[in-house]
Amino acid sequence: MALREIKNKKLRRYRKEFPFIQEITFLNHASFGPIPSRALKSTYEYYEALTLQKVVDMDKLTFERLDLVRTYLAKMIKAKPSEIGLVPNTSYGLNVATNGLKWKRGDKVLLSDVEFPANVYPWLNLKRKGVEIKFIRSRNGFFDIDNLLKTIDSRCRVLSLGYVQFFNGFKNDLETIGKICQEKDVFLVVDGIQGVGCVDLDVKKAKIDFLACGGQKWLLSSLGTGFFYLSEQAKRKIEPAFFGWMGVDWKLNFTDLLRYDLSPFQSSRKFEIGTYPFSTLWTMCSSLELLSEVGTKVIEKRVLRLLDLLLNYLKDSPYQIKSSLDPMHRSGILSFSGKDTARLFQILSRKKIQVSFRENSIRVSPHFYNSFEDMEKLICLLKKA
């Protein structure tokens, strides 16, 4: 008990990072996460350094911070920093895989039929190379492993799947799916954006070959940030479709630029092609620092406890729960619908409770700094609506 109180006190301390909380009940991290105050401060410091020309060795400072970003991200998903590449969004990351793998006519790619479009169009673009795209039928909006087993055959080269489903929060059992893919020699690609930063993930245990993730949601970072993970074992299977001068190792010595004989990085950095958006990566670095201080296990536990409050109410209410209640498939997203869900969404918005309206459901997605009072406020309005 004493320990829980201390932990809660620690979490309460972090609420000052989100100065809007007295005004707005923000339960919408599956859409865009807010930028913590410390990340705003460091972004400002970056621009201030440029405006006032305060920092002498900007190159060193910025590249060191990128290393830190890769290190935080690697720690979060239990990978190595050398397996992390920085990209501007999930879609770019997925394209590193779709365009980097070698294809032949008749190859098959498996997708879920309830996938966010970011993880569909890059694969559909392979049709022009004669690749067949097959959608695995879901059950009640949830990915179905039995249907995967029925569909998978010797022509399947890739399965690409969201870690957490975007409108109902179904967390896929990636360890089981990864095992199946390994046995069938299928390359496993994961869109991590609705899980990473909120629910725990061990990419090694799940035998993920490639993961792409934008920074703008649960990672509380700015638009234009994201990363991919390419496992060391899988890296020989992907060639850079785009290649540029940041993909080779200058050893931070940018004085001898007319030599063109440098080799690509051995690490995932070889896919990073040009000058970085340092300012947004500074934002990301501070947001990741904050998430790393709290820790994903603590975040996950806290978010599930917050959602438990809502679940307990919804179970005996006129609303229909759209998310899985199975503990192994729960995540930071809980969805439900009502008699007039569109109207309900408007009522909540008017009362400054921010959630999403997706596929005719209300999608609620709190983060670790939300309070029980935030959830009670939502429940109170649901009772009245």
Ligand X SMILES: Cc1ncc(COP(=O)(O)O)c(C=O)c1O
Q: Catalog residues that contact ligand X under the rule CB under 6 A.
A: 89-91, 116, 118-119, 162, 166, 191, 193-194, 214, 226
Residue 225 near residue 216 (C-beta atoms within 8 A): yes
Closer Cβ to ligand X, 169 or 178, answer by number: 169
Do residues 239 and 218 touch, judged by C-beta distance below 8 A?
no
Closer CB to ligand X, residue 94 or residue 382?
94
The helix (H) or strand (E) run that includes residue 114 is: none
Q: 119 vs 268, which CB is nearer to ligand X? A: 119
- Burial call 135-149: b when 16+ CB within 10 Å, e when fewer: ebebeebbbbeebbe
Residue 360, Ramachandran bin (φ over 0: left; ψ between -120 and 50: alpha; else beta): left
Minimum gap (Å) between residue 362 Cβ and ligand X: 16
* In the block, residue with structure tokens 């080779």: 248
Query: In terms of CB distance, is 193 or 314 closer to ligand X?
Result: 193
The least distance separating ligand X from the CB of residue 260, rounded to whole angstroms, comes to 32
As a residue count, the chain comes to 385
Separation CA 247–CA 254 (nearest Å): 14
Residues 6+ apart with CB under 8 A from 2: none
Q: Structure tokens of 335? A: 């969805």
Find the shortest distance in angstroms from Cβ 194 to ligand X.
5
Amino acid of residue 91: S
Strand partners, 226: 87, 214
Shortest CB 115 distance to ligand X, Å: 7
**Least separation in angstroms between CB 195 and ligand X:** 9
User: Judged by CB, which is closer to ligand X: 87, or 152?
Assistant: 87
Give me the least distance between CB of 217 and ligand X, in Å please: 7
Residue with Cβ nearer ligand X (70 or 363): 363
How far apart are CB 318 and ligand X at their closest, in Å?
28
**Of the candidates 96, 97, 71, which has an alpha carbon nearest to the alpha carbon of residue 84?**
71
Residues 6+ apart with CB under 8 A from 4: none
2 touches 285 (CB < 8 A): no
Nearer to ligand X, 93 or 382 (CB): 93
CA distance 176 to 357: 31
- Residue 191 CB, nearest approach to ligand X (Å): 5
Determine how β-strand 334-337 pairs with β-strand 353-354.
Answer: unpaired
User: Greatest CA span in the chain, whole angstroms?
Assistant: 70
Cβ nearer to ligand X, comparing 69 with 382: 69
